[in-house]
Amino acid sequence: MPNDLIERNLQILSGAFLKLHSEEEIRLFLKDLLSNSEQKSITERFNIALMLERGMHYSQIERETGVSSATIAKVSENLKYGNDGYKLIIGRLRKK
């Protein structure tokens, strides 16, 4: 799929999330949108980002989650050099 089409689809999907009114509606949409393995993958990655932001070491994250060091490294790379999406949401969650 061409990058411009991916970006357009992400824009449409982002707009769809804005139409949802509660955590429950978002959860239901995600459960319909994502397969069980996709749900597991994205929730693991988000949990890893939270753990890294708390200063946890790779080895501890591996022990607690069972994910590979490669997955942890990818999340860490996105935290440091990505689009700042993880940083944005983690910052907002801290303000709650």
CA angle 56, 23, 8 (to 5 degrees): 85
Give the model's confidence band at 2: pLDDT under 50 very low, under 70 low, under 90 confident, else very high. Answer: confident
Interval 42-88: pLDDT, tens: 999 999 999 999 999 999 999 999 999 999 999 999 999 999 999 99
Residue 96 scores a pLDDT above 90: no
Reported pTM: 0.87
**pLDDT more than 90, % of the chain:** 94
State how far the Cα of 49 lies from the Cα of 36, in Å rounded to an integer.
20
In the chain the domains, ranked by start, together with CATH numbers, are: 1-33 (no CATH), 35-96 (1.10.1270.10)
